[in-house]
């Protein structure tokens, strides 16, 4: 299905480009061979993610449906639907995490960027009586939280907390994705890159991240809630380290987490949401084949009850606490994994802050040069960094 879906997207882009471009928002990417190649790349990734081997079975529908109905009743009674922030308790302080320098072997995989490996016992537990609580706690590797750290010795520097995308969570992938050399060496920022639940060394199976975002609704909610819990503990740690300013920068799933944290955490100087998903139930429904949509609706994996409990972890259900000058978004106009409408909804919810639309696909952020300039300018505008007057060193 990759080729037909790619051709259909390019054809729609061509048709829209023939219309009055001033009326389209988000704007329509100009059709080209390069655009088609990028769309095909996203469609291929989607085809792998939507393999029939990953479809739920009848027993899965029945179990998850029961859990959703139980959770919808519980969340309503406890007031979490009306007040999503109350679903997230304040975690204990993180005072003495384990920190060790990266091994020489690791440097070969991170282009020579030295970093530290921070770890600690997460301590997160779903609320008492939440459906799926014990199943989540049985994931032993996920109980230990990890993060990659790049910090400057001497006087305190601002910290940027970088939240990775779906399926990553390794220093080898995350340091280049966030241009660690540029941010750390040129902009003189301390960097903290948490590993989100069920990713990297925390993964629970060979597929790993599938435990976090899937048809298993309560798993998704617990995973996102644990991500909030862990990042909050890490924010406490960097503040104890004397951080004069702190910002969040997330990509893809990390963009979702950054947007969510922006509505829960006080004292953040900026939040940059890159290619963010913002409405997980809608995204799940959008990407599901018709027969999965029907069964999901019949068993409450999609619909009113699922939407209700997702409010507890939705960035669209919380007013942003980050100052208006510190809110930034970028998104791909040809993104097939997190369609532009997802970023547009966050842009509207955030009061139409600075946003950069690039004419590429979901993973196109990695080679789109102007996005680096956008992020640099966002960090400067929010007071986290000063742009160097000399040409930047090679990025990674």
pLDDT in tens for each of the 396 residues of the chain? 555 555 455 455 545 555 544 445 677 777 777 777 878 777 787 777 666 666 778 888 899 999 999 999 999 999 999 999 999 999 999 988 999 998 766 665 566 788 999 999 999 999 999 999 999 999 999 999 999 999 999 889 999 999 999 989 999 999 999 999 999 999 999 999 999 999 999 988 754 556 677 788 999 999 999 999 999 999 999 999 999 999 999 999 999 999 999 999 999 999 999 999 999 988 887 877 888 888 888 888 888 999 999 999 999 999 999 999 999 999 999 888 899 999 999 999 999 999 999 988 888 888 888 999 999 999 999 999 988 865 555 444
- The C-alpha atoms of residue 147 and residue 251 are separated, in whole angstroms, by 16
The C-alpha atoms of residue 184 and residue 42 are separated, in whole angstroms, by 30
What pLDDT, on a 0 to 100 scale, did the predictor assign at position 6? 52
In this structure, which CATH number among 3.30.870.10, 3.10.450.50, 3.40.1280.10, 3.40.50.1820 belongs to the domain 56-381? 3.40.50.1820
Residue 126, pLDDT score? 97
What pLDDT shows up at residue 20? 47
- Model pLDDT, residue 282: 87
pLDDT at 283: 87
Per-residue CA distances from 186 to 150, 182, 364, 384 (Å): 13, 5, 23, 13
Query: Which residue matches tokens 């599901």?
Result: 288
Domain boundaries, the chain: 56-381
pLDDT at 49: 67
As a whole number of Å, the CA-based R_g of the chain is 21
> Long-range pairs for 201-209 at CB < 8 Å and ≥24 separation?
201/141, 201/144, 201/146, 201/169, 202/141, 202/142, 202/144, 202/145, 202/146, 202/169, 203/141, 203/142, 203/169, 204/139, 204/141, 204/142, 208/167, 209/166, 209/167, 209/169
Residue 394: predicted pLDDT: 46
* Size of the chain, expressed as the number of residues it contains: 396
Question: CB under 8 Å to 136, separation ≥6 — which residues?
Answer: 126, 218, 219, 222, 223, 226
pLDDT at 44: 80
pLDDT at 209: 55
Q: What is the pLDDT of residue 38?
A: 75
SS3 content of the chain, % helix, strand, coil (to 5): 50, 10, 40
Place of tokens 């009326």: 23
Cβ atoms of 263 and 85 within 8 Å: the answer is yes
CB contact at 8 A, 328 and 272: yes
């Amino acid at each position: 299905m990759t080729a037909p879906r790619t051709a259909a997207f390019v054809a729609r882009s061509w048709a829209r480009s023939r219309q009055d471009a001033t009326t389209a928002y988000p704007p329509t990417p100009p059709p080209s061979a390069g655009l088609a190649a990028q769309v095909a790349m996203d469609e291929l990734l989607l085809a792998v993610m939507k393999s029939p081997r990953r479809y739920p079975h009848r027993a899965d529908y029945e179990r998850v449906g029961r859990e959703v109905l139980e959770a919808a009743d519980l969340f309503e009674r406890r007031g979490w639907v009306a007040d999503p922030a109350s679903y997230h308790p304040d975690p204990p302080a993180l005072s003495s995490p384990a920190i060790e320098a990266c091994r020489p072997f690791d440097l070969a995989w991170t282009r020579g960027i030295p970093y530290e490996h921070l770890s600690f016992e997460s301590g997160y537990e779903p609320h008492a009586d939440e459906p799926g609580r014990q199943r989540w706690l049985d994931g032993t590797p996920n109980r230990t939280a990890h993060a990659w750290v790049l910090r400057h010795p001497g006087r305190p520097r601002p910290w940027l907390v970088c939240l990775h995308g779906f399926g990553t969570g390794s220093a080898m992938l995350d340091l280049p994705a966030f241009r660690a050399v540029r941010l750390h060496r040129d902009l003189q920022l301390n960097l903290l890159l948490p590993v989100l639940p069920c990713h990297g060394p925390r993964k629970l199976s060979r597929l790993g991240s599938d435990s976090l975002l899937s048809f298993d609704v309560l798993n998704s909610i617990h995973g996102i809630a644990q991500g909030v819990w862990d990042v909050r503990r890490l924010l406490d740690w960097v503040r104890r380290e004397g951080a004069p300013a702190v910002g969040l920068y997330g990509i893809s799933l990390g963009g979702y987490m950054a947007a969510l944290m922006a509505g829960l955490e006080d004292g953040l100087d900026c939040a940059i949401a890159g290619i963010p998903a913002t409405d997980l139930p809608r995204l799940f429904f959008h990407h599901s084949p018709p027969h999965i949509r029907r069964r999901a609706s019949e068993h409450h994996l999609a619909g009113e009850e699922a939407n209700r409990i997702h409010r507890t972890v939705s960035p669209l259900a919380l007013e942003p606490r980050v100052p208006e000058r510190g809110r930034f978004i970028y998104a791909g106009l040809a993104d097939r994994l997190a369609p532009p409408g997802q970023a547009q909804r966050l842009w509207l919810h955030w009061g139409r802050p600075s946003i950069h639309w690039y004419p590429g696909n979901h993973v196109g952020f990695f080679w789109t040069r102007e996005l680096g300039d956008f992020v640099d300018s966002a960090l400067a505008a929010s007071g986290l960094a000063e742009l160097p007057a000399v040409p930047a060193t090679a990025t990674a």
